[in-house]
Amino acid sequence: MRPCLVVGNWKMNKTIEEAVHYVQALLPLLSGSSIEPWLAVPFTCIQPVAEAAKDSSLRIGAQNMNDATHGAFTGEIAAKMLLNAGAQFVILGHSERRMLYKEDDAFINRKVHRALQDQLRPLLCIGEKREEREQGRTHEVLQAQMTKGLEGIKKEQASQIVIAYEPVWAIGSLEPATPDLANETHRMCRQWLKELFGEEIAQQMSLIYGGSVNEDNAPALLSQPEIDGLLVGGASLTPATFSQIIHSQINKVPTP
Ligand code: PGA
């Protein structure tokens, strides 16, 4: 059985003080859930939040990194620095990075390799834009992002990777994918993972959905057999809504 993950992505929000208050409010709300809570916070918050969350089930991660180990890359941050600050995972290839900062699949692929080498779990995001869906290109776009993003990854490394399917049209839009559409897309993604890494490894890899997830739609999404968790932006910004998602009642439909 794959673990069920709920990953918060704060994006560019919260000062250190706000972040620590949030975690202090969240921790008591976590008990009794079998879902693994992860939180991707701004770089400045990683160390204090990891300290506040130590001895709890909450894992702290980053939202981006560079593929180089060190050197003359003004404004960038390396995997080892994130690890040293207390991060356990890193979001890579988020559509905001792809679109606003022109990150391409080759760069994202180098980051996936670097994260694995330096013991950070990569959370690789893929997703089609609205016009790509309307042009009937969803499968082609997702398959290309996945195969290029995972190029050269060895079978024995692959189970450390989490894939997040985030349709770009669903992010911050109040228009989430329907549970059926998300499940069907995850099924297709798992098929590609089987082609890349074989049946056994593909079954161990977590595939999570993101895009306008909230406390109301989370249970239906999580109940789908191919959806192993959620990536949550806006609704992760308050402990009350994030913890409600973590406590979603899930009725997993058996895989046919
Ligand atoms: P959203 O963002 O939940 O606010 O739609 C999700 C994401 O971008 O990771």
Q: What is the DSSP annotation of 61-84?
A: EES---SSSSSS-TT---HHHHHH
Q: Is the CB of 168 within 6 Å of ligand 1?
A: no
Q: What pLDDT does 254 receive?
A: 63
The single residue of 166, 186, 226, 247 carrying the catalytic annotation is 166
Q: pTM for the complete prediction?
A: 0.97
Distance 224 CA to ligand 1 centre (A): 19
The tens place of each residue's pLDDT in the chain, 256 residues long, gives 799 999 999 999 999 999 999 999 999 999 998 899 999 999 999 999 999 999 999 999 999 999 999 999 999 999 999 999 999 999 999 999 999 999 999 999 999 999 999 999 999 999 999 999 999 999 999 999 999 999 999 999 999 999 999 999 999 999 999 999 999 999 999 999 999 999 999 999 999 999 999 999 999 999 999 999 999 999 999 999 999 999 998 887 665 5
Q: Is the CB of 127 within 6 Å of ligand 1?
A: no
CA distance 249 to 73: 45
Q: Is the CB of 218 within 6 Å of ligand 1?
A: no
Distance 156 CA to ligand 1 centre (A): 30
3-state helix, strand, coil in the chain (%, to 5): 45, 15, 40
| H-run or E-run covering 234 | none
Q: How many other CB atoms are there within 10 angstroms of residue 149's CB atom?
A: 23
> What is the residue type of 64?
N
Q: What pLDDT does 105 receive?
A: 98
The set of residues, in sequence order, having a beta carbon less than 8 Å from that of 55 and lying 6+ positions away, is none
Q: Which residues pair with 92 in a beta bridge?
A: 124
> What is the residue type of 29?
L
Q: What pLDDT does 249 receive?
A: 83
Least Cα distance to 176 among 140, 220, 145 occurs for 220
Distance 10 CA to ligand 1 centre (A): 9
Q: Is the CB of 95 within 6 Å of ligand 1?
A: no
Q: How far is CA 188 from CA 143, 185, 219, in A?
A: 9, 5, 21
Rg (CA), the chain: 17
For residue 117, give both structure tokens: 């080498």
Nearest residue by C-alpha to atom 3 in ligand 1: 233
Name the DSSP letter for residue 167.
-
Q: What pLDDT does 1 receive?
A: 77
Q: Is the CB of 28 within 6 Å of ligand 1?
A: no
